[in-house]
Amino acid sequence: MAVITGETQVRPAVHTPVRLGQQIIILLGAIVIYFGVRHLTEGSVSAAIANAERVVDFEKALGLYHEQWLQETFASNARVSTVFNWIYIWGHWPVIAVTLVWLARRHTAIYLRTRNAMILSGAIGMVIFATFPVAPPRLAPLGMVDTVTVSSHAYRVLQPPMFTNQYAAVPSLHVGWDLLMGVAIVIAARRMWVKILGVMMPVAMTLAVVFTANHYIVDAIAGAALTMACWFAVRWWTARRARRLQPAGT
């Protein structure tokens, strides 16, 4: 895991918790901006459909276009579909909130790195959403079923289409941010079962976004690549800043 995360020593000798209230305000502000910009930058339907066709052609060229087959094969059963709907709905924002609070109270350095990587990747994601709108499989003419809307109306009520960018498919921050939480959990946790949970979270979300027709396979790859790049960028910047602030001769 040290090779994957670039970590050598992750638990500082002295633990200094951050101010939880202040962090909640920062994150809520970032989330409001994120969803606000997503809504304001929603691309045209024709452009989103055209770009979706480009994504599908790209996946076919790479041999990755299996979304329809995967949904028909593994999510056609109502009970199985419900499980992945729940993962998509409850395995994202609730998991992010609980993980960030736990990290903020117990593992300050890892929390700050995770928070900053999340904000940075969200900012980059908004630029991509605005310049490259893509219709997700559920809104593209691919014959796939929007299982979340069909079976779980609560999600679309809590996050109505009128307030979100329906064409922000690439990259998948559902996968990317769950991966960030998973990496942070693996690094911070001491119990093996918690580390295993951290590994399983992004895997389950990747399956969920594809099976529910909310993202393409390449979206998940792009989301994971973006957030991991931001994870290491934040690590580099933090180390660079620490060196600059270190007194001379120490």
Cα separation values, 227 from 15, 121, 134, Å: 26, 6, 19
Angle of helix 173-188 relative to helix 217-245, nearest 10 degrees, comes to 50
Query: Phi and psi (nearest 5°) for 172?
Result: -85, 105
Note the pLDDT of residue 51.
94
What is the pTM for the complete model shown? 0.83
Does residue 63 have a pLDDT over 70? yes
pLDDT, one tens digit per residue, over 177-233 is: 999 999 999 999 999 999 999 999 999 999 999 999 999 999 999 999 999 999 999
Q: How much of the chain, in percent, has pLDDT values that exceed 90?
A: 54
pLDDT, one tens digit per residue, over 64-79 is: 999 999 999 988 888 8
Across residues 141-168, what is the average pLDDT? 72
Note the pLDDT of residue 20.
63
Does residue 244 have a pLDDT over 70? yes
Average the pLDDT over each of 27-41, 160-174, 226-240 and give the range with the smallest value. Answer: 27-41
Rounded mean pLDDT of the chain? 83
Burial class (CB in 10 A: 0-12, 13-18, 19+), 198: buried
Q: Which one of 13-17, 163-167, 215-219 scores highest in mean pLDDT?
A: 215-219
Does residue 9 have a pLDDT over 50? no
Note the pLDDT of residue 238.
87
Does residue 40 have a pLDDT over 80? no
Question: What is d(CA 71, CA 172) in angstroms, rounded to the nearest whole number?
Answer: 18
Q: How much of the chain, in percent, has pLDDT values that exceed 70?
A: 76
Note the pLDDT of residue 207.
97
pLDDT, one tens digit per residue, over 102-135 is: 999 889 999 999 999 999 999 899 889 888 989 9
Across residues 19-29, what is the average pLDDT? 66
Does residue 146 have a pLDDT over 80? yes
Does residue 7 have a pLDDT over 60? no
Note the pLDDT of residue 39.
53
Does residue 1 have a pLDDT over 50? no
Across residues 48-58, what is the average pLDDT? 95
